[in-house]
């Protein structure tokens, strides 16, 4: 086996403090801390988390990677709906109190794992499933029916920091036509505000009631400033699963054939080097903007209960070598 010197042309250097400008692959011994260190590249990664309680798709979702909630969704056969809700703690899912009505709420949801809103969707009777106007709020323990939206729609893009402030945009009406309608939620009622420029459904919503992005249904992306929607940089493909903030989005196309993760930084889109081993079309999403995300369930060729944890890499980073 070749030695470090034979590979790099020098022995490992002993230094009193870490180099100020180490290059990738460089290794040194810090004699002050008595640690062997080096410069390594740490890229994006996707790990498998605990399985969701049911194999389903089109569930509502909210929260972060380590404090997420999933609720509702479609279970086999495809015309059936569920009211089941579950909380993720970063390792496992735990079933909590169910919603009041069985619905598929895909993307029409927002908030946190203890303050979430599930908006409209589709529910029984089936077949065919009926459009629902129900809106439910989760307070960390129970679900409560609150005021309905002004217009009946489903698979809208939803976003909001908590269950008391958010917005939904686009969606499908009874005639399966894409919509431009936008409504904001103040914790007690819905208000119609200015429309999207491009009608869309089954799309990603990211941000807050005053600073949001709607991406998906098409590659055209729009930004919301609290008053108006403005077209911004188009996405590499039409997206349908994801979220984040106006300047930090993690998303996926939401098809069984696309395992890519797409990243938006407020001005441009990039494709992560990390890819899914199990795709999550029409799956659930919860995320920490700019750092981590959780994708769960979905229906590739058949429904799945797989959970995927996406983490941003740190790039070139100084690491400490251990014997563990």
The residues, any chain, with a CB within 8 Å of residue 321's CB and separated by 6 or more, are: 27, 35, 36, 37, 38
- Cα gap 209→226, rounded to integer Å: 6
Q: What is the pLDDT of residue 252?
A: 95
- Residue 9 pLDDT exceeds 80: no
Mean pLDDT across 186-190? 97
**150: Cα separation from own chain's centroid:** 26
Q: What's the distance, CA 213 to chain centroid?
A: 13
Report d(CA 79, CA 63) in Å as an integer. 27
Give which of 100, 97, 75 is closest to 86, Cα–Cα: 97
Tell me the C-alpha distance between 219 and 212, whole Å.
16
pLDDT of 13 over the 70 cut: yes
pTM value surpassing 0.85:
yes
Q: What is the pLDDT of residues 133-179, one digit of tens each?
A: 899 999 999 999 999 999 999 999 999 999 999 999 999 998 889 99
User: Helix, strand or coil for residue 5?
Assistant: helix
d(CA 161, CA 5): 53
Q: CA nearest 295: which of 263, 256, 258, 254?
A: 254
Q: Which has more pLDDT, 8 or 47?
A: 47
Round the average pLDDT of the chain to a whole number and report it. 93
Q: DSSP letter at 98?
A: P
> Is the pLDDT at 126 greater than 70, yes or no?
no
Q: Are the C-beta atoms of residues 153 and 181 closer than 8 Å to each other?
A: yes
Residue pLDDT, tens place only, 223-244: 999 999 999 999 999 999 999 9
Domain boundaries, given as residue ranges, for the chain: 4-42, 45-311
Q: Nearest CA to 59 among 251, 297, 245, 260?
A: 297
Mean pLDDT calculated for residue range 15-26 = 90
- As beta bridge partners, residue 298 has 304
Q: What average pLDDT does range 269-287 have in this prediction?
A: 95
Buried residues in 240-264 as b, exposed as e (16+ CB within 10 A) = bbbbbbbbbbbbbbbbbebbbbbbb
Query: For 288, how many CA atoms within 13 A lie in the half-sphere containing its CB?
Result: 11
Residue 324 to residue 59: CA distance in whole angstroms:
40
Write down the pLDDT at residue 47: 97
- Res 191: pLDDT: 97
In the predicted structure, residue 76 carries a pLDDT above the cut 80:
yes
Homologous superfamily, domain 45-311: Kelch-type beta propeller (2.120.10.80)
């Amino acid at each position: 086996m070749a030695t470090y010197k034979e590979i790099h042309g020098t022995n490992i250097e002993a230094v009193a403090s870490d180099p100020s400008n180490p290059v990738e692959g460089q290794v040194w011994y810090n004699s002050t801390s008595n640690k062997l260190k080096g410069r390594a590249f740490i890229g994006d990664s996707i790990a498998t988390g605990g399985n969701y309680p049911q194999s389903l798709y089109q569930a509502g979702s909210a929260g972060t990677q380590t404090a997420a909630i999933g609720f509702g969704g479609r279970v086999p056969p495809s015309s059936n709906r569920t009211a089941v809700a579950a909380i993720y703690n970063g390792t496992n899912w735990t079933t909590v109190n169910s919603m009041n009505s069985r619905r598929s709420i895909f993307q029409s949801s927002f908030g946190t794992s203890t303050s979430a809103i599930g908006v409209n969707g589709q529910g029984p009777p089936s077949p065919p499933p009926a459009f629902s106007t129900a809106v439910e709020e989760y307070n960390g323990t129970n679900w409560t029916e609150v005021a309905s939206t002004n217009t009946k729609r489903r698979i809208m893009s939803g976003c909001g920091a908590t269950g008391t402030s958010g917005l939904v945009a686009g969606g499908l009406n009874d005639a399966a036509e894409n919509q431009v309608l936008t409504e904001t939620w103040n914790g007690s009622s819905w208000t119609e505000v200015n429309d999207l420029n491009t009608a869309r459904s089954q799309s990603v919503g990211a941000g807050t009631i005053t600073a949001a992005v709607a991406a998906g249904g098409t590659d055209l992306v729009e930004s919301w400033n609290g008053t108006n929607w403005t077209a911004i940089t188009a996405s590499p493909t039409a997206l349908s699963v994801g979220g984040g903030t106006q300047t930090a989005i993690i998303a996926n196309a939401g098809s069984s054939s696309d395992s890519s993760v797409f990243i938006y930084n407020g001005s441009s889109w990039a494709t992560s080097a990390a890819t899914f081993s199990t795709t999550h079309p029409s799956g659930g999403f919860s995320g920490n903007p700019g750092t981590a995300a959780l994708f769960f369930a979905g229906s590739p060729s058949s429904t799945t209960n797989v959970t995927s944890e996406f983490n941003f890499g740190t790039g070139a980073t100084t690491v400490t070598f251990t014997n563990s």
